[in-house]
Amino acid sequence: MTVFRGFIKLALRQLHMLLLYVAVFVTIAVIVQLSLREEGTDTFEMTSLPVAVEDRDGGAAAEGLKEYLGQIHRVTEWEGDLTGLQEKMFYRDIYYLVRIPENFEAACLAGQEKLEVTKIPGTTSAYYVDSQISAWLREMKAMLAAGYGTQEACALVLQAQSGAGSVRMLDESGYGGEPAPHAFLFQYLPYMVLSILCYGAAFIMIAFRREEVRRRLLVSPVPRLRQNLGLMAGYLVLGAVVWVISLILPVTLYRGDFLSDGNLPYYMANVTALVLVSLSIAYVVSMCVKRAETVSGVVNVVTLGMCFLCGVFVSMDVMAAGVKRAAAFLPVYWYEAVNGILSEQASLTASQRTEVLQGLGLQLLFAAAIFGVGMAVSRYRETD
Amino acid sequence: MEEKTIVSIHNLVKRYGDVLALDHLDLEIKRGEIYGLLGPNGSGKTTAINCLLALLGYDKGSIRVFGENMEPDSYESKRRIGVVMQNVAVFEELTVRENIDYFCSLYVKDKKRRRQLVEEAVRFTGLEDHLKKYPKKLSGGLLRRLNIACGIAHRPELILMDEPTVAVDPQSRNHILEGIKKLNEQGSTIIYTSHYMEEVEKICTRISIMDRGRILATGTKEELKAMIGTGETITVETGGMTGEQVEEVRLLPGVVSADCQEGVLRVQCTQGAGNLTGLLHRLEEADIPFGRVWSQPPTLNDVFLEITGKRLRDRKEEEEG
């Protein structure tokens, strides 16, 4: 109990550091979440691009094509040279150029010649406009084949194309197709939890493991086992405090949204697993760091390294396959994997539930393995 | 019945590989003593203390404290022992009061009693004005006092002090030494190790001189001084002496050594009467003018040097010890 009391006393001395981390974390999480929300995709709108048209025909069909493109895109007439076009495309002032040849109706619509276009290779915008032009040409050919005149056919195609289809976003997350608002907070959570626990534990254990203090404790009438149990209890209390903070934050910031989330128990389980993993990492770090001056460096390498590799700061979607494979050997990766499923699915299917449970189980295995390493380091240190 | 012998070490052997750190060490410390343990670096003092506190295992022999074998799990004996380490052993993150209270709480659970003991330790070490300071803000002397307060706050019956005055200013040292005497008067038995002969001479009731893991001599300071051949040291202020004249002094009966530097003649004699008169008679005969004359009995330093040898220890040898 005495050693536990000492642990708590020393932990309270680090309170300012804990508050600082929480404040920084909340600020960043909220700012990122708000900025992403502004450019959200909860409503559907067709993308409009700057498209240039070089009309060498001037006929009714050419006018029909231009009118059709103008319905979707920002169409401008192009009369410049190739160098000017390349420059405009480089700076994305123009995404696509359509050259309507002379005798367009006879050459292109009759299928004798292909429409000449210039586009930015390999871009979605190129495919996007390609498909629209193809659709127009296909429908025009059908209309002309059906015996309509050019102007009539153009009007009918335009009418048919202008009827905007009803688009409804697939809402699997329960938040209009967007990830849950608290998802960002949980995404960044490992950084806060790891940092607080590693810093806190390292500073406390350095104080307890200082040679002279350790000797004073060893010559005291408090049995060694009770001293170690006191330290373990201190670790658990520290972890419990961080666990509570981790769950109070989303409740405070998102209230009903979070509390009514069907995945709430899984979020809680995931945070519990994360805290246990972080405690075990903190234990190893505190066993390895000898001097207070080196704590900051070691903790930064461990927490930032793990957070960058495991998709805390940068989404795993943009990472190379090799990085993902390597990250799978780190526990935070599995936390983020579980968090990813929970934030995108309002209710889990059986296979998703299995994935979530696997992720939680793997984190617990990591926690046990890392704690084992910590015990081995501790034993080595004692006999050293 | 209260045991008279508090610490009894018998035939203790401790090896570090091939190095024999404690060589069949025998030691007996009685209740109420201030027991000084003197020895050059590497003589085995700290090893002996560590074995006594069950911080180190040993190869042979026995250690009994308060009549019980001392083992790592001798918690009842440990409860009655206080330790003042050579290096300051406190939490830098806690204030002076918190440190004393914390280390006292390892021994005393009752809060009320503990508060009282902490107050006493604070008064005893003169730290009243520094209770809210952190150790980093304390001077070397105050830190040492805090170190002592943490070791003695629970009012132990046996206190082990391992060079508690290293790097302490004279005022603080005097304060600490007076405190140790007071602790002893209050009933604590004290084992005190130090390099400072004058400290040991001033406070210890019994002294052991240790070297190469063995006790070479034990006794009161008077008994130790009587053990050596060297007696008084006579110092005479002269107008100056030639080498031949100094050599003649050296040949006088009872003179062990003589040396004259800048007109000050220093003569070391064997124990016995008539050394001073013999020397002055010789100076008069040789027509050497002299002024002030004084005689000093042998110090513990003389005893220490004579017993452990004046030769400087090889550094490697010291480190191995």
Whose structure tokens read 């190869």? B59
B254, B269 Cβ separation under 8 angstroms: yes
* CB contact (8 A) between residue A220 and residue B78: yes
pLDDT surpasses 90 at A147: no
* CB contact (8 A) between residue B55 and residue A6: no
B58, B44 Cβ separation under 8 angstroms: no
* B220 min Cα distance to partner chain A (Å): 29
Q: Is A226 on the interface with B (CB under 8 A)?
A: no
* CB contact (8 A) between residue A207 and residue B79: no
* B89 min Cα distance to partner chain A (Å): 5
B126, B148 Cβ separation under 8 angstroms: no
Q: Is residue A129 part of a domain?
A: yes
Same domain, A321 and A221: yes
What domain range includes position A307? 2-33+181-383
* CB contact (8 A) between residue B107 and residue A220: yes
Rounded mean pLDDT, A243-265:
84
* CB contact (8 A) between residue A10 and residue B93: yes
- Best of A219, A220, A226, A227 to disrupt the B interface (most B CBs within 10 Å) is A219
Domain boundaries in chain B?
5-225, 229-297
Per-residue pLDDT reduced to its tens digit, A23-62: 887 787 777 767 765 555 555 567 888 999 988 888 888 8
CATH T-level assignment (fold) for domain B5-225: Rossmann fold (3.40.50)
Q: Is residue A308 part of a domain?
A: yes
Record the tokens describing residue A186, joined without a space. Answer: 């949980």
Answer with the one of A162, A189, A214 that is the final residue of a domain: A162
Per-residue pLDDT reduced to its tens digit, A79-111: 877 788 888 888 888 888 888 888 887 777 777
B259, B247 Cβ separation under 8 angstroms: no
Q: In degrees, to the nearest 5, what angle opens at C-alpha A158 toward C-alphas A152 and A160?
A: 100
Q: Is A234 on the interface with B (CB under 8 A)?
A: no
* CB contact (8 A) between residue A215 and residue B107: no
Same domain, A187 and A156: no
Q: Is residue A6 part of a domain?
A: yes
Same domain, A154 and A190: no
Q: What pLDDT, on a 0 to 100 scale, did the predictor assign at position B320? A: 44
Task: For residue A2, list chain B residues with Cβ-Cβ distance below 8 A.
Answer: 102, 105-106
Same domain, A328 and A375: yes
The count of structural domains within chain A is 2
Higher pLDDT, A318 or B317: A318
Task: Check if B5-225 and B229-297 are the same fold.
Answer: no
Same domain, A235 and A379: yes
Q: Is residue A26 part of a domain?
A: yes
Same domain, A131 and A240: no
Which residue in B75, B88, B93 is closest to A212 by CB distance?
B88
Same domain, A208 and A356: yes
Residue of A nearest to B70 (CA): A219
Cα–Cα distance between B165 and A178 in angstroms, integer?
Answer: 70
CATH number of the domain at A131, please. Answer: 3.40.1710
Which residue in A2, A10, A218 is closest to B91 by CB distance?
A10
Per-residue pLDDT reduced to its tens digit, B62-120: 999 998 999 888 999 999 999 998 888 899 889 999 999 999 999 998 999 999 999 99
Same domain, A346 and A254: yes
Identify the architecture of domain B229-297 in CATH: 2-Layer Sandwich (3.30)
Q: Is residue A40 part of a domain?
A: no
Residue of B nearest to A213 (CA): B89
Q: Is A379 on the interface with B (CB under 8 A)?
A: no
Residues in chain A: 384
Which residue in A2, A203, A215 is closest to B89 by CB distance?
A215
Question: CB pairs below 8 Å between A and B: how many?
Answer: 62
Strands B19-30 and B5-16, by their bridges, are: antiparallel
Same domain, A192 and A148: no
* B24 min Cα distance to partner chain A (Å): 24
pLDDT surpasses 60 at A78: yes
Q: Is residue A39 part of a domain?
A: no
* B85 min Cα distance to partner chain A (Å): 7
Residue of B nearest to A11 (CA): B93
Record the tokens describing residue B300, joined without a space. Answer: 């513990």
Same domain, A377 and A345: yes
* Cβ atoms within 10 Å, residue B27: 19
Q: Is residue A170 part of a domain?
A: no
- The partner residues of B190 in beta bridges, in order of sequence, read B34, B159
Per-residue pLDDT reduced to its tens digit, A329-339: 999 999 999 98
Q: What number is the ipTM of this complex?
A: 0.79
Q: Is residue A45 part of a domain?
A: no
Per-residue pLDDT reduced to its tens digit, B259-282: 888 889 988 887 766 778 888 888
Same domain, A298 and A379: yes
Task: For residue A213, list chain B residues with Cβ-Cβ distance below 8 A.
Answer: 89-91
Same domain, A246 and A344: yes
Strands A96-100 and B34-38, by their bridges, are: unpaired
* CB contact (8 A) between residue A9 and residue B102: yes
Higher pLDDT, B309 or B96: B96
Q: Which residues contact residue A99 at a Cβ distance below 8 angstroms, ignoring those fewer than 6 apart?
A: A54, A56, A115, A116, A117, A118
